[in-house]
C-alpha cells in the first residue's frame, strides 16, 4: 500500500475495522470483484442498457470492456491511486469509465455534468486530479473548452478525455473505450495489482454547507457493504431491472442499490439521461423496469403525468424508491394508487448512512416515515444542541456511525471539526424523530443549505460569490418553498446607496465565473436592511418566513 492513497483519508479506529472484518460486514474484496462474480454466473445475460443511445452490454462484455479501459488508462500513463474527475452524463461511457477506473485502481471523483469551472477546479485541486472525463458539447455548452481551461488552472491535470470527437490535445474517449484492447499480460497485471478492501474505491461529493464541495472517500469494503445492504432491503434479485434517471454520480442511483447493486446481483441496469415522464415511462415499459429511484419532485411529476394521461406504461414497475429530500406525506400516499407500485422511502447521504422503509412495512409506515437503517451495524443517536441524547420520541439532530459511514472528509480537517463528533459520529445537521418501529421521521435541518429537488446548494458558497459584486453590502441566501422542486434559491440583498442590482446581473455574474446552473438564485429581494439575530448574524429563519409569506400573498 503506497502512502499516497492514504494521505488525507481518515480511517475507522483499528479495533473497529478489525471488528467489521471479523463479523464479515467487510469482505476484503473490491467492488468490481462482485460484478465479475455475477458475470461468472450469467456471462451472456444483458447486464447494462444505455436507453438514451440503445447501447447494450452482456456481463461478459462489460467485464471485458472494463479490462480494456483499465489497460488503456494505464498505457497512457495514469497509475493506480491517481484521481480523475468523472463528469460524464448518464450512459455507456460513464459505466465503462467507472468500471475501468475501479479495475485499474484509479480513483474517480464523482462530479456532475452540471458542474462548471468553479466547482471542477476546486474539486480537481483538492483531489489532485490528473484527468477529466467529460462530454464534448451538451445543451449548447462546450465541455472541451472547459476541459482546456481546467488543464490551465488545476496543477497536475494533464489529460482531458472527451466523449465523441476530441480536439487535440484532448483525447477521444470513444477511441479508447471501443478500440483499445487489454493483452493477456495486461489482464494478468490488473489481476495482480487489484487493490484491497480498505483502499479508496471512489470519491463522492458532499452536498455540504461550505464553499468547496467536500470529498468523501468510499473504500471498497465500505461501499461494497453499502451496495449489498441496500440491494437486500430493496429486494433486488437476478430478475430485477433497475433504471437510473438521476445523474448516476449521486450515491442514491449509483450504490443505494443503484446500478452497481443491479450489477452485483446479476440483474439488469438501465440508464437514461432524463427523469421526464415522457422519456422515462416508455423506457420503463420497453425494458420492463422493476425498480427505479427518484427525488420527491420527480415522483410528483410522474404521479401528475400518470393521473393526466393514464399511460399504462408502468405495469412492470414494482418499487419506486424516493429520497434526497423530504417527501410530503400527501404525496407518498398517492404513489401506490396512481403508479401501481410499492413506495420505498430513502433517507440517505453520500457520507454513508442509508435508511429505507421496508417493502413489506404497513402502508402507514411507508407513507409517513423515512425508514430505518439498512444495516444492524448502523448506530444512530438523536441529540440536542449540546449533543446530549434527547428523550425517546423527542426531535433532535441525528448523529451516526457505522461500517459504511467514513469518520472524516478527505483532507478537510476544518470540515471534520464541524461535521464529526468525538467517537467518529457524523453530524449531518438533519432534525429527526424516532417514529414507530424504529423508523425515522425527518423534520427539517439545522444546516445552511438549499435542497433544490435533491441537489444540495450551500448558502454560504453563493453568498460569498454574490459579495464579489461591488454594489452588494449584505447578502443572504435562503430556501423558498416551491411546488415543483420543494425548495428554490432566494437571494436577499442590501445594496449601497444609489446603487441597483437585478436578478439577471447576479445570475450573469455567477455564470461568468463558472458556477453550476442549478446554484443560480431564482429570486432576488432587495431590502434596506436584513433582520439580525441577537448574536449579530442574519436571521435566516425570519427571511424564510418572509419569502414564504410573499409567495403566499402573490398566489
Ligand atoms: C442523498 O444524499 P446527499 O449527500 O445528496 O444529501 C444528504 C442529505 C441528508 O443529510 C438530508 O439533509 C437530505 O439530503 N435527505 C433527506 C432525505 N434524503 C436525503 N431529507 C429528508 N428526507 C429524505 N428522504 O440525498 C441521498 C443519498 C443516498 C440515498 C438517498 C439520498
For residue range 225-270, list pLDDT tens digits in order. Answer: 999 999 999 999 999 999 999 999 999 999 999 999 999 999 999 9
Answer whether 348 contacts ligand 1 (Cβ < 6 A): yes
Q: State the cell numbers at 482.
A: 416551491
Answer whether 325 contacts ligand 1 (Cβ < 6 A): yes
Query: Given pLDDT bands bounded at 50, 70 and 90, which one contains residue 211?
Result: low
- Position 96 pLDDT exceeds 90: yes
| Gap from CA of 80 to ligand 1 centroid (Å) | 31
Q: State the cell numbers at 33.
A: 470483484
**CB-CB contact of 234 with 321 (8 Å):** yes
Instruction: Decide if 60-195 and 449-554 have a common fold.
Output: no
pLDDT tens sequence across 277-332: 999 999 999 999 999 999 999 999 999 999 999 999 999 999 999 999 999 999 99
Answer yes or no: pTM beyond 0.85.
yes
DSSP labels, 457-515: EEHHHHHHHHTTSTTEEEEEEEEEEETTTEEEEEEEEEE-TT----HHHHHHHHHHTT-
At the fourth CATH level, the homologous superfamily of domain 449-554 is: ANL, C-terminal domain (3.30.300.30)
What pLDDT does 2 receive? Answer: 39
The candidate with the shortest Cα–Cα distance to 231, out of 147, 321, 160, 161, is 321
What pLDDT does 518 receive? Answer: 96
Closest residue CA from atom 2 of ligand 1: 349
Mean pLDDT along residues 336-358: 98
pLDDT tens sequence across 478-516: 999 999 999 999 999 999 999 999 999 999 999 999 999
Kindly give the residue spans of alpha helices, DSSP state H, lying in 249-362.
Answer: 251-255, 258-264, 277-287, 296-309, 329-334
Answer whether 324 contacts ligand 1 (Cβ < 6 A): yes
pLDDT tens sequence across 393-425: 899 999 999 999 999 999 999 999 999 999 999
Query: Measuring CA to CA, how many Å separate 218 from each of 105, 130, 190?
Result: 13, 19, 21
Can you tell me which atom of ligand 1 is nearest the CA of 371? Answer: 24
**Number of separate helices (H) and strands (E) present in the chain:** 19, 29
**CB-CB contact of 215 with 411 (8 Å):** yes
Closest residue CA from atom 9 of ligand 1: 349
Query: Given pLDDT bands bounded at 50, 70 and 90, which one contains residue 213?
Result: confident
pLDDT tens sequence across 515-532: 999 999 999 999 999 999
Kindly give the residue spans of alpha helices, DSSP state H, lying in 154-272.
Answer: 173-179, 184-193, 220-233, 251-255, 258-264
Domain boundaries, the chain: 60-195, 449-554
83 SS3 class: strand
Closest residue CA from atom 20 of ligand 1: 325
The candidate with the shortest Cα–Cα distance to 213, out of 415, 36, 10, is 415
Answer whether 404 contacts ligand 1 (Cβ < 6 A): no
| Gap from CA of 327 to ligand 1 centroid (Å) | 11
Dist CA 201 CA 410 (whole Å): 13
| Gap from CA of 136 to ligand 1 centroid (Å) | 31
**Structure-model confidence comparison of residues 195 and 138, the more confident one:** 138
CATH of 60-195, picked from 3.40.50.980, 2.40.50.100, 3.30.70.270, 3.40.50.300, is 3.40.50.980
Answer whether 355 contacts ligand 1 (Cβ < 6 A): no
Mean pLDDT along residues 349-372: 98
Answer whether 354 contacts ligand 1 (Cβ < 6 A): yes
Q: How far is CA 72 from the centre of its chain?
A: 27
Substitution site in 227, 256, 349, 428 for ligand 1 pocket (most atoms within 8 Å of beta carbon): 349
User: Angle CA(113)–CA(200)–CA(423) in degrees, nearest 5?
Assistant: 110
Task: Tell me 74's DSSP state.
Answer: H
Answer whether 256 contacts ligand 1 (Cβ < 6 A): yes
- Position 209 pLDDT exceeds 80: no
- Nearest-10 Cα torsion for 391, 394, 395, 401: 40
Answer whether 252 contacts ligand 1 (Cβ < 6 A): yes
**CB-CB contact of 137 with 107 (8 Å):** no
Dist CA 298 CA 28 (whole Å): 37
Dist CA 289 CA 479 (whole Å): 35
Mean pLDDT along residues 5-17: 88
Q: State the cell numbers at 334.
A: 398517492
Which residues have a Cβ under 8 Å from the Cβ of 214 and sit 6 or more positions away?
A: 205, 206, 208, 409, 410, 412, 415
Which residues have a Cβ under 8 Å from the Cβ of 92 and sit 6 or more positions away?
A: 48, 50, 53, 55, 57
Amino acid at each position: 500500500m503506497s502512502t499516497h492513497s492514504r494521505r488525507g483519508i481518515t480511517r475507522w479506529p483499528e479495533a473497529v475495522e478489525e471488528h467489521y472484518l471479523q463479523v464479515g460486514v467487510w469482505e476484503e474484496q473490491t467492488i468490481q470483484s462482485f460484478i465479475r462474480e455475477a458475470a461468472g454466473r450469467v456471462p451472456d445475460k444483458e447486464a447494462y442498457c444505455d436507453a438514451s443511445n440503445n447501447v447494450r452490454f452482456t456481463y461478459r462484455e462489460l467485464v471485458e470492456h472494463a479490462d480494456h479501459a483499465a489497460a488503456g488508462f494505464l498505457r497512457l500513463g495514469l497509475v493506480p491511486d491517481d484521481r480523475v474527475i468523472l463528469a460524464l452524463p448518464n450512459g455507456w461511457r460513464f459505466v465503462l469509465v467507472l468500471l475501468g477506473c475501479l479495475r485499474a485502481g484509479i480513483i474517480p471523483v464523482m462530479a456532475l455534468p452540471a458542474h462548471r469551472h468553479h466547482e471542477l477546479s476546486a474539486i480537481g485541486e483538492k483531489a489532485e486530479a490528473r484527468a477529466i472525463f467529460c462530454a464534448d458539447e451538451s445543451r449548447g455548452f462546450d465541455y472541451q473548452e472547459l476541459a482546456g481551461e481546467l488543464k490551465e488552472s488545476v496543477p497536475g491535470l494533464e489529460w482531458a478525455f472527451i466523449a465523441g470527437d476530441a480536439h487535440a490535445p484532448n483525447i477521444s474517449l470513444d477511441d479508447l473505450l471501443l478500440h483499445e484492447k487489454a493483452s493477456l499480460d495486461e489482464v494478468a497485471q490488473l489481476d495482480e495489482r487489484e487493490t484491497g478492501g480498505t483502499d479508496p474505491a471512489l470519491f463522492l461529493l458532499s452536498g455540504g454547507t461550505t464553499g468547496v464541495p467536500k470529498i468523501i472517500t468510499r473504500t471498497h469494503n465500505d461501499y461494497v457493504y453499502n451496495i449489498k445492504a441496500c440491494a437486500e432491503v430493496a429486494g433486488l434479485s437476478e430478475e430485477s431491472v433497475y433504471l437510473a434517471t438521476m445523474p448516476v454520480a449521486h450515491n442514491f442511483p449509483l450504490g443505494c442499490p443503484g446500478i452497481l447493486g443491479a450489477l452485483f446481483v446479476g440483474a439488469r441496469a438501465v440508464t437514461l439521461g432524463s427523469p421526464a415522464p415522457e422519456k422515462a415511462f416508455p423506457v420503463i415499459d420497453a425494458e420492463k423496469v422493476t425498480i427505479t429511484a427518484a427525488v420527491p419532485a420527480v415522483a410528483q411529476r410522474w404521479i401528475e403525468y400518470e393521473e393526466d394521461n393514464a399511460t399504462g406504461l408502468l405495469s412492470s414497475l414494482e418499487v419506486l424508491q424516493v429520497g434526497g429530500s423530504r417527501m410530503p406525506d400527501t404525496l407518498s400516499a398517492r404513489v401506490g394508487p396512481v403508479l401501481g407500485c410499492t413506495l420505498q422511502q430513502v433517507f440517505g447521504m453520500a457520507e454513508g448512512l442509508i435508511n429505507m422503509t421496508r417493502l413489506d412495512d404497513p402502508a402507514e409506515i411507508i407513507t409517513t416515515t423515512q425508514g430505518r437503517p439498512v444495516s444492524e451495524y448502523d448506530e444512530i443517536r438523536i441529540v440536542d444542541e449540546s449533543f446530549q441524547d434527547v428523550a425517546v420520541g423527542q426531535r433532535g439532530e441525528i448523529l451516526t456511525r457505522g461500517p459504511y459511514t467514513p469518520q472524516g472528509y478527505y483532507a478537510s480537517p476544518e470540515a471534520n471539526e464541524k461535521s464529526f463528533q468525538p467517537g467518529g459520529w457524523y453530524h449531518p445537521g438533519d432534525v429527526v424523530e424516532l417514529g414507530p418501529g424504529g423508523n425515522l421521521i425527518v423534520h427539517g435541518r439545522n444546516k445552511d443549505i438549499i435542497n433544490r429537488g435533491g441537489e444540495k446548494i450551500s448558502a454560504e458558497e453563493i453568498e460569498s460569490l454574490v459579495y464579489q459584486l461591488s454594489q452588494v453590502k449584505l447578502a443572504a441566501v435562503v430556501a423558498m418553498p416551491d411546488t415543483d422542486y420543494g425548495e428554490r434559491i432566494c437571494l436577499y440583498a442590501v445594496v449601497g446607496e444609489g446603487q441597483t442590482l437585478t436578478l439577471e446581473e447576479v445570475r450573469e455574474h455567477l455564470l461568468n465565473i463558472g458556477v453550476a446552473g442549478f446554484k443560480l438564485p431564482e429570486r432576488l429581494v432587495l431590502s434596506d436592511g436584513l433582520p439580525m439575530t441577537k448574536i449579530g448574524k442574519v436571521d435566516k429563519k425570519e427571511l424564510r418566513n418572509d419569502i414564504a409569506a410573499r409567495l403566499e400573498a402573490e398566489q
